[in-house]
Every structure is written in C-alpha cells, then in structure tokens.
Amino acid sequence: MPFNKSHILFRNPFKYRRKTPKRTSEKKAAFFIFIVIIALCIGIITTGNFLKSVSSEMALSDATDMITATINDKINEKMSGGQYTYDYFVNLQKDSEGNVTAISANMARINTLSSEILQEVIAATNNGELDLKIPIGNLLGSNILLGRGPKIPIKIIMLTSSFADFKNELSSAGINQIKHQIILEVKVQIDVLMPWEVKSTEVLSKVLIAETIIVGKVPNTYLSLNQP
C-alpha cells in the first residue's frame, strides 16, 4: 500500500491538558467572601455587645455619682445651720455620779428630719427625674476620647422605694470612753434609661451628722437609733 501523507494525524500536545474549570474558581471565591462576611458580622455583633455592656456600666456609674452628689449637697445644706447637734437627736440620762444610765433617741425629730431631707433631694430634681448627657467618648472607656463626640441623653428616675434613716455606731475611744456617732443613711432606688436599655440600681449615701464622746461607765444596753 503506498504511503499517503494525508493519513498521518498530527495531535495537538495541548489538546488533552486538563484545565481548572472556571466555575470552580468562582465558587471558591464566593465561599471565601461568604466566610469573610460571616466573620465580620460576628465581630461586629460581639464588639457591639461589648461596647453596650461597657457603655451601660459607665452610664450607670455617672448616674450614681450624680445622685450621690445631689444627696450629699442637700444633707450638707440642711445640716449647715447648726441646729442639728448631737443633743437634738439624743438624750443622755445620768445617775448622781455622772455615769450614763440610758441613751434615748428622739425618734419624732429623727423621722421628721429624714423625711425632710428625702423630700429636698427629690425637690432638687424634676419631680424625681434627672437628665444627663454623656459624651460618647466617655462611654468607650478611653482617656483619649474623654469628653469627645456627640452627647448621648440619659434619663435618671428616682423610684418611690427610696428612704432615709439614721444609724448609730458605738466604738471604744479609750478607758471608760465610748464614741457615739449618728449617721444619716439615704438609699435611693433609680432607673437609668439609656437609648439601648434600662438598668436599675441602688444609690447608698452615708453621712456623719453628729457625734460625742461619752465618758464614764457606760451601760451595756443602748436604746438603738435603728429602731423605727
């Protein structure tokens, strides 16, 4: 059979090289983008929750400081007149030798003063409400951003469960000497209304308003000022 050049087949060496499908690359890219988006979303949510928590605590702290300052200012104003001395609240009964035999509290005066102070604290607010504006930089806990940024409105509401009371503390001041301190204790329940949540807390303020040193033999039992 004669040789026919037309029967010779020339194969393309590149014809059977495996190629990566284009769709596979696109799927991988799409999957990678999807993972990145999910990671970003998780990061944003986590960061947002953390910032909310930090901001809430900072706002609560500022609200507590504001209420405490208001309470202390009103107590100091009330006590600055000099009318409310130790003898105003307490009567000391002594025997013929000058020894204290009993300590009696004037509960009527104590209750009246407690009520007046609490009313003045409430009167210092707008019917038991206070408005507070905190720069957003303060809520981020950064000294660099302190006092910077737009101000976030915070509302503080004093609840009706607030009350004022007197406590007494007795401690040794030496041989046959007892220090008797009268302490005004004001507890204010507040709600702090933030744009993202509402938190409740109790503000406790204690102020020493009178004290004396009782010299001589002191009875073992006292009429407690803690009694209503």
Q: pLDDT tens-digit profile of 123-165?
A: 777 777 788 787 777 766 667 767 777 888 888 887 767 777 7
Confidence band, pLDDT 50/70/90 cuts, at residue 226:
very low
| Lowest-pLDDT range of 20-29, 92-101, 140-149, 216-225 | 216-225
Question: Distance from first CA to last CA of the chain, Å, rounded?
Answer: 131
pLDDT in tens, 54-86: 777 777 888 888 888 888 888 888 877 777 888
pLDDT at position 225: 45
Quickly count: other Cβ atoms within 10 Å of residue 2's Cβ: 3
Q: Is 194 exposed, middle or buried (CB count within 10 Å of its CB: 0-12, 13-18, 19+)? A: buried
Confidence band, pLDDT 50/70/90 cuts, at residue 221:
very low
pLDDT at position 139: 67
Beta strands in the chain (DSSP E): 90-94, 100-105, 129-135, 151-158, 163-174, 177-193, 198-215
pTM across the whole model: 0.62
Distance CA 122, CA 152 (A): 24
